[in-house]
Structure 1
Amino acid sequence: MPKRSQGVSLSFLMLDSSRGTGPLHRRLYERLREAILSGTLAPRSRLPSTRTLARELGFSRGTVEEAFAQLDAEGFLERRVGSGSLVALPEHARAPRSAPARGGAPRARGDGLSRRGRRMAGDVLPAEARDVRPFTPCLPALELFPAKAWARAVARQARALVPERMLYGEPEGFRPLREAIAAHLGPARGVRCDWRQVLVFSSTQQALDLTARLLLDEGDGVWLEEPGYLGARVAFESAGARLHPVPVDARGLQVDTGRTRAPRARLAYVTPSHQYPLGVTMSLPRRLALLEHARASGMWVLEDDYDSEFRYATRPLAAIQGMDAAGRVLYAGTFNKVMFPSLRLAFLVVPPGLVESFTAARASTEGHPPTLPQAAMADFMDSGHYVTHLRHMRQVYSERRDALLDALRREGNPSLRPGAAEAGMHVTAFLASGCEDLALVERTDARRLGARRLSPLYLGRKREQGLVLGFSGASPAGLRTAVRELVPLLS
Structure 2
Amino acid sequence: MPKRAAGAILTGLNLDRTLAAPLHRQIYDGVRSAILDRRLTPGERLPSTRTLAGDLGVSRRTVVDAFSQLYAEGYIDERVGAGAYVARALPEDFLNLVVPAKPLPEAIADTPQFSQRFLEQKKHTSQAIAQFLRGQKLGRAFLLGTPALDEFPNALWGRLGARVGRRTTRHASSYQPTAGCLPLRESVAAYLGSARGVRCSPEQILIVAGSQQAIAIAAHVLIDPGDAVWMEEPGYFGAKGALLGTGARLIPVPVDSEGLNVAAGRERAPDARMAFVTPSHQMPLGVTMSLARRLALLEWAREAHSWIIEDDYDSEYRYVSRPLAALQSLDTHGRVIYTGTFSKVLFPALRLGYIVAPPALVDAFAVARRLMDSHSPLREQLILTEFMQEGHFERHIRRMRSLYQERQQLLVEETRRELGGTLDTAPADGGMHLVGYLPTSIDDGKVALAAEKQGIRTQALSHNYLETPQRSGLVLGYAAASSQEIIDGVRGLATILRAG
Normalised to the residue count of structure 1, the TM-score between the two structures is 0.77
- Report the residue type matching 1:255 in the other structure: V
Within 5 Å, give how 1:376-415 maps onto structure 2.
Answer: 376-415=383-422
1:207 lines up with 2:214 in the alignment: yes
Deviation at 1:412, TM superposition (A): 4.2
Sort the Cα spacing of 1:435 and 1:170 in 2 relative to 1 into closer, same or farther, 3 A: same
Q: How far has the Cα of 1:119 moved from its partner?
A: 4.3
Distance 1:279 1:272 in 2: 9
1:368 corresponds to 2:375: yes
Alpha-carbon distance between aligned partners in 1 of 2:120 and 2:360, rounded to the nearest angstrom: 30
Residue 476 of structure 2 aligns to a residue whose secondary structure is strand
From 217, 220, 224, give the equivalent of 2:224: 217
Query: Residue in 2 aligned with 1:455?
Result: 462
Mapped to 2, the partners of 1:259 and 1:166 lie a distance apart of: 50
Deviation at 1:320, TM superposition (A): 0.3
SS of equivalent to 1:330: strand
- Counterpart selection for 1:342 from 349, 353, 358: 349
1:130 aligns with 2:136: yes
- Matched residue, 1:180: 187
2:305 corresponds to which letter in structure 1?
G
2:439 is matched by which residue type in structure 1? A
Secondary structure of the 1:418 match is coil
What SS does structure 2 have at the residue aligned with 1:263? coil
2:477 pairs, out of 461, 467, 470, with 470
Which aligned segments of 4 or more residues in structure 1 are displaced greater than 2 angstroms? 95-100, 113-132
Q: Does 1:288 align with 2:291?
A: no
In the TM superposition, 1:241-280 aligns within 5 A as 241-280=248-287
The CA deviation at 1:152 is 1.4
Is the CA contact (8 Å cut-off) linking 1:419 and 1:430 kept in structure 2?
no
Tell me the distance in 1 between the aligned counterparts of 2:471 and 2:143.
20
Go from structure 1 to structure 2 and tell me whether the alpha carbon gap of 1:121 and 1:466 turns closer, same or farther (over 3 Å shift).
closer
- The one-letter code matched in structure 2 to 1:130 is Q
Q: 1:57 is matched with which residue?
A: none
Which stretch of structure 1 is more off in the superposition, 321-330 or 127-136? 127-136
Q: Give the match for residue 425 of structure 1.
A: 432
Cα distance in 1 between the residues matched to 2:104 and 2:262: 58
| Residue 486 of structure 1: how far off its partner (Å) | 1.1
Q: 2:366 is matched with which residue: 356, 359, 363?
A: 359
Structure 2 counterpart of 1:37: none
1:478 is displaced (CA, Å) by 2.1
Please report how far the alpha carbon of residue 464 of structure 1 lies from its aligned counterpart in structure 2 after TM superposition: 1.6
> What RMSD in Å do the two structures reach over aligned CA positions?
1.8
Q: Contact conserved, 1:255 with 1:286, CA < 8 A, in 2?
A: yes
User: Which of 227, 237, 248 is equivalent to 1:230?
Assistant: 237
Structure 1 residue matching 2:399: 3-state secondary structure: helix
Shift of 1:96: 12
Q: Report the Cα distance in structure 2 between the residues aligned to 1:393 and 1:234, rounded to whole angstroms.
A: 29
| Local SS of the residue matching 1:442 | helix
Corresponding residue SS for 2:484: helix
Taking a change above 3 Å as real, the CA distance of residues 436 and 349 of structure 1, as seen in their structure-2 partners, is: same
What is the SS of the residue equivalent to 2:424? strand
Match of 1:155 among 150, 162, 175: 162
Whether contact under 8 Å (1:172, 1:200) holds in the other structure is: yes
Distance 1:241 1:97 in 2: 35
Q: Which residue of 1 aligns with 2:329?
A: 322
SS at match of 1:280: coil
Equivalent pair of 1:253/1:282 in contact (CA under 8 Å): yes
Q: Distance in 2 between matches of 1:97 and 1:312?
A: 55
Question: Is the contact made by 2:140 and 2:485 (CA closer than 8 Å) also made in structure 1?
Answer: no
Matching residue's letter, 1:275:
Q
Structure index of larger Rg: 1
Cα deviation for residue 318 of structure 1 reads 0.6
Question: What amino acid is aligned across from residue 208 of structure 1 in structure 2?
Answer: I
Q: Secondary structure at the match of 1:326?
A: coil
Counterpart AA for 1:161: T
Aligned residues with identical type, % of pairs: 44
Instruction: Confirm or deny that 1:107 pairs with 2:114.
Output: no
Contact 1:416 1:430 in 2 (8 A): yes
Deviations 1:352-409 (A, max 9, x none): 0000011111111101111000000001000100000000000000000000001111
Asked if the contact 1:280/1:420 (under 8 Å) is kept, the reply is no
Cα distance change, pair 418–121 in 1 and its aligned pair in 2 (3 A): closer
> Is the 8 Å Cα contact of residues 278 and 420 (structure 1) preserved in structure 2?
no
Query: What CA distance in whole angstroms lies between the structure 2 residues aligned with 1:167 and 1:348?
Result: 23
1:268, 1:302 within 8 Å by CA — same for their partners in 2?
Answer: yes
Q: Could you tell me whether the CA contact under 8 Å between 1:154 and 1:376 is conserved in 2?
A: yes
Residues of 1 paired with 2:324 and 2:488: CA distance? 33
Q: In 2 relative to 1, CA 215–411 (structure 1 residues): closer, same or farther, beyond 3 Å?
A: same
Tell me, in whole angstroms, the C-alpha distance in 1 between the residues paired with 2:109 and 2:197: 50
How many residues align structurally?
391
* Amino acid of the structure 2 residue aligned with 1:323: L
**3-state SS of paired residue (1:248):** strand
* CA gap 1:96/1:226 in 2 versus in 1, 3 angstroms: closer
> Structure 1: which 5+ runs fail to align?
1-94
The question of whether the paired residues in 1 share the 8 Å contact of 2:416 and 2:424 is answered with no
1:149/1:385 contact within 8 Å kept: no
Alpha-carbon deviation of 1:420? 5.6
Q: Decide which moves more: 415-424 or 137-146.
A: 415-424
Partner SS, residue 136 of structure 2: coil
CA distance in 2, matches of 1:320, 1:464: 27
> Distance in 1 between the 2:194 and 2:413 partners?
33
* Cα distance in 1 for residues equivalent to 2:427 and 2:110: 48
Range that drifts further, 374-383 or 413-422: 413-422
| d(CA) in 2 for partners of 1:98, 1:183 | 56
For residues 376 and 406 of structure 1, what CA distance do their matches in structure 2 show?
39
Match of 1:48 in 2: none
**Among residues 176, 183, 199, which one is paired with 1:169 in the alignment?**
176
Query: Over residues 251-280 of structure 1, what are the superposed CA-to-partner deviations in whole Å (9 max), with x where a residue is unaligned?
Result: 111011101111000000000000000000
Partner letter of residue 406 of structure 2? E
Q: In the alignment, is the contact (CA less than 8 A) between 2:408 and 2:427 conserved in 1?
A: no
Structure 2 CA distance for partners of 1:442 and 1:97, relative to 1, 3 Å: closer
Q: How far has the Cα of 1:120 moved from its partner?
A: 5.0
- 8 Å Cα contact 1:321-1:330 kept in structure 2: yes
Shift of 1:249: 0.6
Q: Unpaired segments of 5 or more residues in structure 2?
A: 1-101
Report the secondary structure of 1:417's partner residue.
coil
**How far 1:419 sits from its partner (Å)?**
4.7
Amino acid at match of 1:107: D
Q: Which amino acid aligns with 1:311?
A: R
Q: 1:190 aligns with which of 192, 197, 200?
A: 197
Aligned-partner SS, 2:489: helix
